[in-house]
Amino acid sequence: MPSYAKFLKEILSNKRKLEEHETVALTVECSAAIQNKLPPKLKDPGSFSIPCQIGKVTIERALCDLGSSVSLMPLSLCRKLDLGELTPTTVALQLADRSVKYSVGVLEDVPIKVGNLYVPVDFIILEMEEDTRTPIILGRPFLATTGCQIDVKNGKLSFEIGEDCVQFDLSKATKFPSLSDDCCRIDIIDSIVNAHLSNPNSVDFLE
């Protein structure tokens, strides 16, 4: 059986006549397109956020971010919650635009209520402007702890701890579109900080 590309080229250039009972082998891609087996293209569902509660403060939209290796909270919100002293740290964060931010400290074992689940979360505290839409970011450690499963196509998030499970239908909630200034990735860069601290002649970026 002739290949489909060669067969089509010869037909179009009049070098070959189509026989009445000839069989032509199609590629997998062509077969899928002809048989309508290709899935429909869907739009960007936007960022996924969930409601949660910290102490007596209800947060309507906490951003669930697979691109963040830590959970983040602005210093202003940390002061409002008044959950105790911060643990000093030398952790620095590299943002999506490659800029570096130094943390104020770590707020450890903060109990967050998600549905009927209580989850301890360590928050890196940053001195930054508080986002009124999504004031906190829940990173990969939180998502791993809660056994989070994200169904992007159907817009559903489920969290499971032991026998308890909570599911959110994000298609019924208000979602914000992705913006150019969204933080898509956050990495801890302790190595840069340690190198900076070990060099007495290095420039202090905090001055």
For residue 41, tell me if it sits in a domain. Answer: no
pTM of the model: 0.65
CA dist., res. 33 & res. 22, Å (int): 21
Closest of 21, 19, 26, 20 to residue 2, by C-alpha: 26
Pair 65, 120 in one domain: yes
For residue 68, tell me if it sits in a domain. Answer: yes
Beta strands in the chain (DSSP E): 49-54, 57-64, 71-74, 92-94, 100-102, 105-114, 117-126, 137-138, 149-151, 156-161, 164-169, 187-188
Pair 22, 62 in one domain: no
Confidence label for 206 from pLDDT (cuts 50, 70 and 90):
very low
For residue 161, tell me if it sits in a domain. Answer: yes
Pair 132, 56 in one domain: yes
CATH code of the domain containing 181: 2.40.70.10
For residue 205, tell me if it sits in a domain. Answer: no
Pair 28, 108 in one domain: no
Per the structure, how many domains does the chain have? 2
Pair 69, 20 in one domain: no
State the residue range of the domain holding 16: 4-34
Q: What is the pLDDT of residues 81-105, one digit of tens each?
A: 988 899 998 888 887 778 888 889 9
Closest of 9, 27, 130 to residue 77, by C-alpha: 130
CA dist., res. 70 & res. 94, Å (int): 11
Q: What is the pLDDT of residues 111-140, one digit of tens each?
A: 999 999 999 999 999 988 888 888 999 999
For residue 194, tell me if it sits in a domain. Answer: yes
117-148: string of b/e by CB count within 10 Å (b at 16+)? bebebebbbbeeeeeeebbbbbbbebbeebeb
For residue 40, tell me if it sits in a domain. Answer: no
CA dist., res. 152 & res. 66, Å (int): 13
